[in-house]
Amino acid sequence: MIWLQITANTGPVECCLAVTKALAQLSREAQKAGVTVSVVEQLDGPVGGTLRSVLLELDGPAEPEGALAARWCGSIQWICESPYRKMHKRKNWFLSGAAFAPPAVSTEFGEIRYEATRASGPGGQHVNKTDSAIRATHVASGLSVKVQTERSQHANKRLAAQLLLSKLGELAKTEEGKNKSERRMHHFQAERGNAERVFVGMGFVERAV
């Protein structure tokens, strides 16, 4: 399994729309490769239908799984006139992707309480309409996360535990005065230019780099 984060970083709403389009494109590529994609966590953008960032779990045969993740790592460019600002001159929008190993679930940070809840939010096909969503709470600190995917409650529980442990790890590093984790800093370190992949137009059609 690999975790893949795609983010607009601090970019404008057009970059957030690009993240949504990238997620749709990645899902199509994953289906062809026989890789399952699950949304672990998402941060909505400033306009409906956009995403500031999305954290995904890729699950499949090691070779196609790794190749798919590699294709979405680095700087990604979207060339398109802004659908939100008609007279805006800028046509180049950037997002970025990075792959991570999911944290191993352990009892290092103490007790975690789990609660089944109904999924919510504008996640579309990625939101389960049943009560299989899971809220995981770290009892000692009160920190909690909610995971809602189209998979089973058991799968959501595992993902919630991993996500919570990842956030607790970041918190521990911060409290110790260390640098924030690589995944957290990824939101603020997008490289503008030198794109690994380039997509064009509202159809998000890939163009050779």
CA distances from 191 to 21, 65, 131, 186 (A): 19, 24, 40, 10
Using an 8 Å Cβ cutoff, are 103 and 166 in contact? yes
Looking from the CA of 109 toward its CB, the CA atoms found within 13 Å total: 25
136 versus 176: the higher-pLDDT residue is 136
Q: Are residues 50 and 119 in the same domain?
A: no
| CATH number of the domain enclosing 193 | 3.30.70.1660
Q: Are residues 35 and 135 in the same domain?
A: no
Domain count, the chain: 2
Q: Are residues 67 and 153 in the same domain?
A: no
Residue 34 predicted with pLDDT over 60: yes
The pLDDT mean for the chain works out to 82
Q: Are residues 145 and 65 in the same domain?
A: no
Q: How confident is the model at residue 126 (pLDDT cuts 50, 70, 90)?
A: very low
Q: Are residues 188 and 123 in the same domain?
A: no
What domain range includes position 117? 112-175
Using an 8 Å Cβ cutoff, are 60 and 34 in contact? yes
Using an 8 Å Cβ cutoff, are 149 and 121 in contact? no
Pairing mode, strands 74-79 and 197-200:
parallel
Task: Determine the average pLDDT of the residues in 132-152.
Answer: 78
